[in-house]
Amino acid sequence: MDHRFSRRLLGIAIAIAVGTSFLAPTPARPSTHPIDNHSAAQLPPVPIPIGHQPTAAVVLPSSTPPIQPRGDTLDGTLQMVDNNDDAIRNGLVHSSKGMQALAARDRAAARQELEASIRILAMLPQAATPEDLRLQLIEETARLKAALTGASAGPVADSRVDEQEEENEADTEATPDLVVSDDEPTAVSPSGAVVSLPDLDLSDFDVPIVLNERVQEYIEYYQTRKWGVMSRALERSGRYLPMMREIFREQGLPEDLVNLAYVESGFNSRAYSRAKASGIWQFIKATGNRYGMRVNYWLDERRDPEKATRAAAAYLKDLYEMFQSWPLALAAYNAGEHRVQRAIETQGTTDFWSLRLPKETELFVPAFMAATIIAKDPDQYGFVAPVEEPWEVERVTVPGAIKLSSVAQAVGVSSDLLRDLNPALMRGVTPVHAAEHQILLPPGTGEILMANLDRLPRYTDRKPSRTAEKRQGAKRRKATGAAMAAAGRGGSRGRSVAVNKKTTPSSSPSGVHVVKRGDTLYKIARTYGVDLDALRRWNDLDRRAMLKPGLALRVVAQASNGQREKGRSTRASAAHVRYRVRRGDTLWEIARVHDVTPDELRRWNDLGHKATLLIGQELRIRVSES
């Protein structure tokens, strides 16, 4: 280790331990988010999120509950600890809990945890050359102190809005918690029981898998408390697995590494952590930039499934070349290569299971192994195997400042489908300052778009200034989101090649409309004065259906003026159903299941873009009357 670096850390330790001025007074703020105390008896190890880590998969074990440091002796001197390692590990728990409290805006609790960590440092006997674990405690305590004194009475300093990384709150979701634990009720497997481990042939895996006690605990964890989260992750993965495996094969990487995406994000391209890690592979901005992904107001390529997968493959390949060990490479993916390299140099071992690393990293690798074991044969563990679909898309280059809702109307697909295919477009529009941008379309629609490209309107709004954001930020984002959602709902659902002459409605009260080039479901419904949902229902069409010329559609009503008005008002007089929120639900998934949009759900239930769904909360959902 560099002696200058060692001396610098020792200086920090001395300042922390004996310099009360180092801990500058900051006004405490009453907590509105109390910290939950997890029972130490829970199994598997209780993961605790830490806001400053580079990924969301951060865990601490229940087997090492924090203890209060020993107090002063009768003569007023600090009582020295008997076991350095145990004391240091407890100090790390305190510093980790402090960061968690600060992320939850509980400054009083964060300050208490910092003081406990400082006392432990002060009680440690002096060492000429501090060991790696002590250096880690010094670093973590200094980081907590810096975050606490650098923050105002509001959020952690690191969470200040960065214009270049500002998220579209209407289109992001919290990172799924396949590793992070909580005390909320969780969906369990239908049988309610843990499926016993089948006989495993470890040679079936192309990455090292160890079936030790910790890995088995995580398998049980996924079968019970996290069964619902794991089930949804498996369901989502089918869409991406073929593409990911192909990319990993191209890079000469083990295909089982794709299972890292279960632990990182649950295969959710919209996942966004408190540490500002984004996308399926949970890249922070700096690492994303290093591997060629652009992140700005209009675009976040960390959310692009294919680009992020290529970046993840390149990063994992670099990490393996650095450490020549997949467990160490995975640990570095979680904690950072410099931290793992420093631990190897100071401890003199390259065996992951012997290496002392941050607890969250020590548990991250077993969590990956457990997810990989389950993903190899989900049916054996009480899950449904994902239905894998080939990654078939069409890439089309379009100008900047083109709205996805306009593209959807031109090619006759839903706006939601295009947003699913292009999650990197943060505002539903191609970057306004770019000369051109490549978007993904469903197969067979690229030619249709090119035929209509000149007719597409340009998006005229520009990025708001920092001053305007500070003055009107939340209000403006809400208005913009509502406008885009309205455009999306008004977009066409059928296939459209070019702007055609108006279709002549059928004269029969209950007749057939033959689809022509340029027809969309929206245009047909408007022409005949019928409700769009009714037209879908009469013809057994879902929201993503694409119309082909020559298709015969059943139309039940004639477009009289009265009927037009009735058709337009059907949605307003629709019946309501109530849905009770369950563990793991998101507004996006609830909207999909009920064939509505997230913005409609928000409007019907008076939910803001920052609203959090609560388990047991009732949502009103409008459905068209038959």
Mapped onto helix, strand or coil, the DSSP state of residue 579 is strand
Q: Which domains does the chain have, with CATH numbers?
A: 3-30+66-158 (no CATH), 163-381 (1.10.530.10), 394-480 (no CATH), 511-569 (3.10.350.10), 575-623 (3.10.350.10)
Report the candidate in 449, 443, 448 with the shortest Cα–Cα distance to residue 403. Answer: 449
Alpha helices in 189-304 (DSSP H): 213-223, 227-237, 241-250, 260-265, 285-290
Question: 268-315, pLDDT tens digit by residue?
Answer: 999 998 788 999 999 999 999 999 999 999 999 999 999 999 999 999
Alpha-carbon gap, residue 88 to 610, rounded angstroms: 38
The residue behind tokens 């290093």 is 290
Q: Which residues of the chain fall below pLDDT 70?
A: 1-83, 126-132, 149-172, 174-198, 461-511, 543-544, 557-576, 592-593, 610, 623-626
- What pLDDT, on a 0 to 100 scale, did the predictor assign at position 33? 36
Mapped onto helix, strand or coil, the DSSP state of residue 514 is strand
Q: Is the dihedral of CA 398, 402, 404, 406 positive or negative?
A: negative
Question: 177-196, pLDDT tens digit by residue?
Answer: 555 554 333 344 444 445 55
- What pLDDT, on a 0 to 100 scale, did the predictor assign at position 52? 35
- What pLDDT, on a 0 to 100 scale, did the predictor assign at position 486? 38
The residue behind tokens 């700096």 is 286
Alpha-carbon gap, residue 66 to 36, rounded angstroms: 13
- What pLDDT, on a 0 to 100 scale, did the predictor assign at position 112? 86
How much is the pTM? 0.52
Question: 551-582, pLDDT tens digit by residue?
Answer: 778 777 443 444 434 444 444 445 667 888 87
Strands (E), 415-476: 436-441
Alpha-carbon gap, residue 110 to 95, rounded angstroms: 8
- What pLDDT, on a 0 to 100 scale, did the predictor assign at position 624? 55
